[in-house]
Chain A
Amino acid sequence: MRGALWQTGWRELRRYPSALMGMAIIAGLLVLALYTVIAIPYPEAVAKWRGSEAWQDNPVNAAPIWLDRLVGGDAPRTQVVASEAAPIEERVFEGGRRLRIPLAFDYDAGGFPSELNLFLHAPGHEQPPFVRLAWHTPDGREIALGGHRIGADERISISQDRALERRLGGLAPHIGLLADPEREEGQPQVLPGRHTLLLDVLAFDETAAFDAELVLYGRVHGIAGTDHQRRELSLALLWGTPVALAFGLLAAVGTTVTTLAIAAVGVWYRGWVDATIQRLTEVNMILPVLPILVMVGTLYSTSIWLMLGVVVVLGIFSASIKMYRAMLLPIREAPYIEAARAYGASNARIVLRYLIPRILPVLIPTFVTLIPSFVFLEASLAVLGLGDPLLPTWGKVLNDAQSQSALYNGYYYWVISPALLLMLTGLGFAMLGFALDRVFNPRLRSL
Chain B
Amino acid sequence: MSSPPIPTAGDEPAHLIAARNLHTWFELRQWGFLRVGAVHAVDGVDFALARGESVAFVGESGCGKSTLARTLLGLHRPTRGEVRFAGRSLGTLSGRQLKAYRAEVGYVQQDPYGALPPFLDVRRILAEPLIVHGVGARSERERRIRTALEEVRLSPADEYLGKFPHMLSGGQQQRVVIARALILAPRLVVADEPVSMLDASVRVEILELLRRIQQERELTLAFITHDLSTVRHYAERIFVMYAGRVVESAAVDDLLDHPQHPYTQALLAALADPDAANATRLREVPAGEPPSLLRPPAGCRFHPRCPHFMAGLCDRDDPPEFEPRSGHRSACWLHR
Mark A residues whose CB is within 8 Å of B: 1, 4, 334-336, 338-346, 349, 353-354, 357-358
CB distance from B203 to the nearest CB of A (A): 19
B246 at the interface (CB under 8 A from A): no
Is B114 in contact with A344, judged by CB distance below 8 angstroms?
Answer: no
Closest partner residue, chain A, to B163 (CB atom): A1
B301 at the interface (CB under 8 A from A): no
Other A-B pairs beyond A1-B121, A336-B117, 16, CB < 8 Å: A1-B123, A1-B162, A334-B114, A338-B107, A339-B107, A342-B74, A342-B105, A343-B128, A344-B98, A344-B102, A344-B103, A344-B129, A353-B128, A354-B117, A357-B117, A358-B117
> Chain A residues near B70 (CB, 8 Å)?
338
Is B132 in contact with A343, judged by CB distance below 8 angstroms?
Answer: yes
Is B115 in contact with A339, judged by CB distance below 8 angstroms?
Answer: yes
Q: Given A335-B109, A338-B75: A345 and B132 within 8 A (CB)?
A: yes
The 8 Å CB contact of B115, one of A336, A345, A357, is A336
CB distance from B306 to the nearest CB of A (A): 35
A4-B122 Cα distance, complex, nearest whole Å: 14
> Chain A residues near B177 (CB, 8 Å)?
339
A358-B118 Cα distance, complex, nearest whole Å: 8
Closest partner residue, chain B, to A361 (CB atom): B119
Is B119 in contact with A358, judged by CB distance below 8 angstroms?
Answer: yes
B116 at the interface (CB under 8 A from A): yes
A334-B123 Cα distance, complex, nearest whole Å: 20
> Chain B residues near A342 (CB, 8 Å)?
73-75, 102, 105-107
B111 at the interface (CB under 8 A from A): yes
> Chain B residues near A336 (CB, 8 Å)?
114-117
CB distance from A264 to the nearest CB of B (A): 15
B245 at the interface (CB under 8 A from A): no
A349-B131 Cα distance, complex, nearest whole Å: 11
The 8 Å CB contact of A344, one of B99, B109, B111, B124, is B99
A340-B120 Cα distance, complex, nearest whole Å: 13
Is A345 in contact with B128, judged by CB distance below 8 angstroms?
Answer: yes
CB distance from A75 to the nearest CB of B (A): 61
CB distance from A350 to the nearest CB of B (A): 10
The 8 Å CB contact of B129, one of A343, A354, A357, A358, is A343
> Chain B residues near A4 (CB, 8 Å)?
162
Closest partner residue, chain A, to B112 (CB atom): A335
CB distance from A117 to the nearest CB of B (A): 67
A334-B121 Cα distance, complex, nearest whole Å: 17
> Chain A residues near B128 (CB, 8 Å)?
340, 343, 345, 353
Contact with A along B86-99 (1 / 0, CB 8 A): 00000000000011
Q: Which 7 residue pairs are nearest across A and B when measured between Cβ atoms?
A: A344-B102, A342-B107, A335-B114, A343-B129, A335-B115, A1-B121, A1-B162
Is A338 in contact with B109, judged by CB distance below 8 angstroms?
Answer: yes
Would you list 21 pairs from A and B whose C-beta atoms are within 8 A, ordered by A residue?
A: A1-B121, A1-B123, A334-B114, A335-B110, A335-B114, A336-B117, A339-B109, A339-B115, A339-B177, A342-B102, A342-B105, A342-B106, A342-B107, A343-B102, A343-B107, A343-B184, A344-B99, A344-B102, A344-B103, A353-B128, A354-B117
Closest partner residue, chain A, to B165 (CB atom): A336
A4-B99 Cα distance, complex, nearest whole Å: 34
B15 at the interface (CB under 8 A from A): no
A128-B329 Cα distance, complex, nearest whole Å: 124
A353-B131 Cα distance, complex, nearest whole Å: 12
**Number of residues on chain B facing chain A (CB within 8 A):** 32
Closest partner residue, chain A, to B183 (CB atom): A343
> Chain B residues near A339 (CB, 8 Å)?
107, 109, 115, 177, 180
Q: Given A335-B111, A343-B102, A343-B103: A357 and B119 within 8 A (CB)?
A: yes
CB distance from A101 to the nearest CB of B (A): 78
> Chain A residues near B118 (CB, 8 Å)?
358
A343-B117 Cα distance, complex, nearest whole Å: 14
B77 at the interface (CB under 8 A from A): no
> Chain B residues near A343 (CB, 8 Å)?
102-103, 107, 128-129, 132-133, 180, 184
Q: Given A1-B162, A4-B162, A349-B132: A341 and B115 within 8 A (CB)?
A: no
For A341, A342, A357, A358, the residue with the greatest tally of chain B CB atoms inside 10 Å of its CB is A342
A1-B110 Cα distance, complex, nearest whole Å: 27
A340-B181 Cα distance, complex, nearest whole Å: 10
> Chain A residues near B117 (CB, 8 Å)?
336, 354, 357-358
> Chain B residues near A346 (CB, 8 Å)?
132
A346-B162 Cα distance, complex, nearest whole Å: 25
> Chain A residues near B107 (CB, 8 Å)?
338-339, 342-343
> Chain B residues near A340 (CB, 8 Å)?
128
A357-B124 Cα distance, complex, nearest whole Å: 14
A301-B102 Cα distance, complex, nearest whole Å: 54
B217-266 at interface with A (beta carbon < 8 Å): none
Closest partner residue, chain A, to B109 (CB atom): A335
Closest partner residue, chain B, to A339 (CB atom): B115
A343-B183 Cα distance, complex, nearest whole Å: 10
A1-B133 Cα distance, complex, nearest whole Å: 23
A346-B124 Cα distance, complex, nearest whole Å: 17
A272-B143 Cα distance, complex, nearest whole Å: 44
Q: Given A335-B115, A339-B107: A344 and B123 within 8 A (CB)?
A: no
Closest partner residue, chain A, to B117 (CB atom): A336
A24-B48 Cα distance, complex, nearest whole Å: 68
CB distance from A132 to the nearest CB of B (A): 85
A343-B105 Cα distance, complex, nearest whole Å: 8
A335-B106 Cα distance, complex, nearest whole Å: 14
Closest partner residue, chain B, to A333 (CB atom): B114
A253-B124 Cα distance, complex, nearest whole Å: 27
> Chain B residues near A338 (CB, 8 Å)?
70, 75, 107, 109
CB distance from A196 to the nearest CB of B (A): 79
> Chain A residues near B123 (CB, 8 Å)?
1
A4-B162 Cα distance, complex, nearest whole Å: 9
A340-B114 Cα distance, complex, nearest whole Å: 12
CB distance from B258 to the nearest CB of A (A): 36
CB distance from A337 to the nearest CB of B (A): 8
> Chain B residues near A345 (CB, 8 Å)?
128, 132
A219-B128 Cα distance, complex, nearest whole Å: 69
The 8 Å CB contact of B133, one of A334, A344, A354, is A344
> Chain A residues near B115 (CB, 8 Å)?
335-336, 339
B170-209 at interface with A (beta carbon < 8 Å): 177, 180, 184
For A336, A353, A358, the residue with the greatest tally of chain B CB atoms inside 10 Å of its CB is A336
Closest partner residue, chain A, to B114 (CB atom): A335
A340-B129 Cα distance, complex, nearest whole Å: 8
A370-B156 Cα distance, complex, nearest whole Å: 46
A4-B124 Cα distance, complex, nearest whole Å: 14
For A339, A341, A345, the residue with the greatest tally of chain B CB atoms inside 10 Å of its CB is A339
> Chain A residues near B111 (CB, 8 Å)?
335
Contact with A along B125-153 (1 / 0, CB 8 A): 00011001100000000000000000000
A63-B99 Cα distance, complex, nearest whole Å: 72
> Chain B residues near A1 (CB, 8 Å)?
121, 123-124, 162
Contact with A along B268-289 (1 / 0, CB 8 A): 0000000000000000000000
Closest partner residue, chain B, to A349 (CB atom): B132
> Chain B residues near A358 (CB, 8 Å)?
117-119
